Structure 1
């Protein structure tokens, strides 16, 4: 049978062939899922490391501990005390307080009169078991559960008569 003119393999629209719809690749979903899971795990590890470091440092940052120490030291002297020397805390970055004190402060004052050891200890906020009342020389030390220590010492000044040296050493882990 003859085909009408204008139709045939060289004329007219090409014959329609059925093409099934393309399946979308799962590779993009798999890689996206892996990326999201990896980001989540990294975020959890970072938060975990920060909390572990905080626990090792007995809670609170070293900067907070340094400010608290300086406030204690500033509260100790009276108006007639003369500062002889003071070393404020220098916070070391990366110091983990496992077994060492990362924050330290020491100061010494010359005082033209006797100072009660128990009085100085109480102004530092030290809790001592039965502080020696009436003592004007010697040392008292207070160790807290978090590993911090407070130490106050009062000694006669070796160079000046009737003058006393009050020195403190504060540490925090």
Structure 2
């Protein structure tokens, strides 16, 4: 399972910074990041395409994101071969109860839809959000009005190396 999460207000410009995390033998770690000019499905998809080009064997079966139509749309378009959950199609009562609000999004949040081979102890993006906070309050402290270039320099020379060593 891979995690994708955006953080905001990391520099003086209103651009989202996305973290891409994968499971290591120790924890989930930030292995990639990208900044988009605007938060659109096309922009996020373009960034994911770059990661796929750099890692041609990368074919994650699952992603976890916040409820962001932009992120979900980009992932569904770019990783069409990812496994999909199966719904109990024969149970009319269950289908009727879920259909109005939850069923259209169930494959993204319901634990029961996870494949048997997806037995990992992660249920939220909280770990990624903590890394977002660490970036903002430990590494970018005093850089509130920094330029995009300054923020990226801190990410590449300080945040990512410390995350990797940890």
TM bucket (normalised to shorter chain) is under 0.3
Going by fraction, where is strand more abundant, 1 or 2? 1
TM-score normalized by the length of structure 2 = 0.21
| Higher RCO (CA-CA < 8 Å; seq separation 6+) | 2
Higher Cα radius of gyration = 1
TM-score normalized by the length of structure 1 = 0.20
